[in-house]
């Protein structure tokens, strides 16, 4: 005698609908910054980006000058 298994019907909430519902539930738990905090954090990020850009620019300029002096200069003299 064969034993039949019951097929479970698929959950009605799966895929995109479930993802969106869980996403909105998680967003309700978020503690959003105040406008003053947001302004302060934005200034910190902008300042950090400017400092990093200046540092990378300075290193790039220095390496360019070294390359011109030693690599290109050695090729043109030789």
Count up the domains in the chain and report the number.
Answer: 1
Our CA dihedral for 22, 27, 28, 34, rounded to 10 degrees, sits at 180
| pTM (global) more than 0.85 | no
Query: Tokens 């034993």 — which residue?
Result: 3
> Taking a C-beta distance cutoff of 8 angstroms, is the pair 13, 21 a contact?
yes
pLDDT tens, per residue, the chain with 78 residues:
666 666 655 556 678 999 999 999 999 999 999 999 999 999 999 999 999 999 999 999 999 999 998 887 777 775
CA distance 51 to 45: 10
Please work out, in degrees rounded to the nearest 5, the angle formed at the alpha carbon of residue 75 by the alpha carbons of 72 and 77. 105
Q: Is residue 63 part of a domain?
A: yes
Q: Is residue 65 part of a domain?
A: yes
Q: Is residue 51 part of a domain?
A: yes
Q: Is residue 19 part of a domain?
A: no
What does the pLDDT read at residue 8?
59
What does the pLDDT read at residue 5?
64
Q: Is residue 17 part of a domain?
A: no
Q: Which residue range is the domain that position 57 belongs to?
A: 33-77
What does the pLDDT read at residue 66?
92
Q: Is residue 8 part of a domain?
A: no
CA distance 33 to 23: 19
């Amino acid at each position: 005698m064969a034993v039949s298994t019951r097929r479970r019907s698929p959950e009605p909430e799966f895929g995109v609908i479930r993802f969106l519902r869980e996403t909105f539930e998680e967003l309700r738990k978020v503690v959003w910054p105040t406008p003053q905090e947001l302004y302060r954090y934005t200034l910190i990020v902008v300042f950090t980006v400017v400092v990093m850009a200046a540092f990378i620019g300075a290193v790039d300029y220095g390496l360019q000058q070294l390359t011109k002096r030693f690599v290109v200069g050695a090729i043109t003299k030789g």
